[in-house]
Amino acid sequence: MARNRWSLAALVLAPLLALAACNETSRVSTQAEEEIGPAQLDEVPLQARALSGAVQAQDDVAALLAPEPLLVAPGQILVGARVGAALDEAASAMGMASNFVRSLRSEGEEALERLPEEIAGPLRLRAETEAADMARLAVRDQLGRLGVQGAVNERPGGLIEIDLRPGASPTALSMAQQGAVEAAGGAPVTMEWNETDRCPRFVTQGQLENDLALAMRCTIQRLRAANDFEFVEPNYVAASGFSLPPRQRPQSTPQQQPAPAPNTPAPAPVRLGGMPNDPLLALQWHYRARGTGEGQSPGGAGFTAFWDSDLVGARDVRVAILDTGLDLSHPEISRENVVSGADFISNPLRAGDGDGVDADANDAGDLCGSALENSYHGTHVAGTVGAATTNDRVGVAGGAWNVTIVPVRVLGRCGGELADIVSGIRWAAGLAPAIGDNGEQIVNQTPADIINMSLTIQAPCPASLQAAIDAAAARDVIVVVAAGNKADLTERYAPANCNNVLVVGSGDARGELAFYSNFGPQVDLIAPGGDLFADNDHDGRPDGVLSTRATQTGCYDPVNRASAERCYYSFQQGTSMAAPHVSAALALLAAQTGLRGAPLRDALMTRALAPHPAEFARITCARSRNAIPVSGGAEQCDRPSGRGALDLARALQ
């Protein structure tokens, strides 16, 4: 009887079948139906195996890929102080050697990296403080000349934040915008922004007082013309890319999921490698060896080869997840390898937790508009990197079992603001503290080696974002970013169009470019991102990436297909899901080699990629409005997607 029960479970929960990657309409032959983990699913409690995810209707593709407007936080402007120019003066005032002062003048902040942190830290802080003081005075002078009222505040790192809303009439917000606030349940207002709009040559005080967008344009133009600042730009609003709404209304919104029932087994001692016993590993095709044989997947990233070689990471490798935070009530988020993080969402409405910046990175939700439940996007991303407890006979496996996860909350209700993201990068890299609502400094005691940002802004790379990324890179931090999910050119989306980032496009289970993935010369590689609209192995489940995410929508027991009230695991798709695979791979390589920074990135790109086949991602031009025409290609277009696909197994050769 036990043998029959096990046979049934193995049949129902067979792994994603290897796919013969041909064209998008190819039918795939069935491979062996052996499970990659030893766990018997019918003997695992429901809470440890129930999951969510159904194949999505093709009718939803058009809405998913539809262009979205560029959004900004109304009335908010970011100004960069000239910190680099103040470094040499600060060094001279601190009595440093003249030759080092000269190197600061020629190299700027890069010269600081040659100093011990106990010297570089105070020098950087002094330069930032002095430069910010000068910038704040210059901003107030220009606002006065223009006749615009506004609050001017400093942020760590020499960033000045201007808020024009106190000086604007309530009529500055259109009725449509006010309706959007009500529809979002009180979430912060966002404003559509056109970079080409200019301030009129003649403008009255009344116009500035009653049109917030006009006041922003004129203020930005005036500040830029003053040439007193490193940069001047709107406070853009970023999105997580989680734009596909649930297709069924949940019974209730799962704000804080309860812990699993007491019959959930205690985690087994984690062994140092081998194939983990997590029961849902059979459905995580994205970790498998790349290929078409038994236990392989054409779109797999080769993690199982590392695990088989007893390479599961190390706690001294730190990955910061800049996202919606971490659902700390999730029963499988490891308490051993998740350290204290920070919440950088300064607007309490956007934060949804009743306060601003603090040391609590718990995901308080990101509901927006018609969304029926929180995305828990950051928890899904972190679970793939390694926040999910692996080899515990519960749920899913994570990519790097022993990595240290640093949660940094920068996305909340209806997205996240550029100023908060910039501050989050600097904090994650150990460059600047967070400043809480009460003025208390929150210092990062575990600066990251790798930063994962699965978020996008449809705009040229903002200067404030580039400056923060450059500063992190100068400290040997690798910044991994998602390419974006609009089947568009990556050059149109930040941070993927910034310098000093590792840009990840998305592959599907067939090993092909996912239909939604952005592409272009900026993309460095692809990694598994999945496809919720496909079921190429015909197992009744979507070919998405399975990871940690609590929900009450579409939950079912994979043993018997019976519906479940709630579950803690979900299939998702996107370059948001691809990027954490690369972050996890970097963490494993860092533990294996001891490398950090640029040498670690080079090791990934030279040792852990499967080169793309000839004409990879080529497509008929009519099927992609943004693909790049091939010269003499008879209506054929290319979608450049980097040098290859992530394949960790190659790093063992």
Per the CB < 8 A criterion, the answer to whether 133 and 146 are in contact is: no
Find the Cα–Cα–Cα–Cα dihedral 99, 101, 107, 112, rounded to 10°.
100
Phi-psi region of 214 (alpha: psi -120 to 50; beta: other; left: phi over 0): alpha
Residue 652 has what DSSP assignment? Answer: G
Amino acid at 173: L
Structure token pair of residue 457:
């802004």
CA 306 to CA 652: how far, in whole Å?
Answer: 8
**In 454-500, which ranges are E strands?**
478-482
Per the CB < 8 A criterion, the answer to whether 498 and 422 are in contact is: no
Amino acid at 245: P
Q: How far is CA 589 from the centre of its chain?
A: 20
Q: Any idea which residues carry the catalytic annotation?
A: 323, 377, 576
Phi-psi region of 192 (alpha: psi -120 to 50; beta: other; left: phi over 0): beta
- Among candidate residues 361, 78, 120, 84, the one with its CA nearest the CA of residue 237: 78
Residue 496 has what DSSP assignment? Answer: T
The answer to whether the bond into 45 is cis (omega within 30° of 0) is no
**In 412-529, which ranges are E strands?**
416-417, 434-435, 441-442, 450-453, 478-482, 502-507, 525-528
Q: Quick check: helix, strand or coil at residue 620?
A: strand
Q: What kind and span of H or E run contains 313?
A: none
Alpha helices (H) in 332-416, listed in sequence order: 348-351, 377-382
Amino acid at 445: Q
Per the CB < 8 A criterion, the answer to whether 179 and 89 are in contact is: no
For 577-609, b/e burial (b = at least 16 CB within 10 A) is bbbbbbbbbbbbbbbbeebbeeebbebbeeebb
CA 104 to CA 70: how far, in whole Å?
Answer: 37
What are the backbone dihedrals phi and psi of residue 585, each rounded to the nearest 5 degrees, phi first?
Answer: -65, -40
Residues recorded for the chain: 653
CA 221 to CA 215: how far, in whole Å?
Answer: 10
Amino acid at 520: G
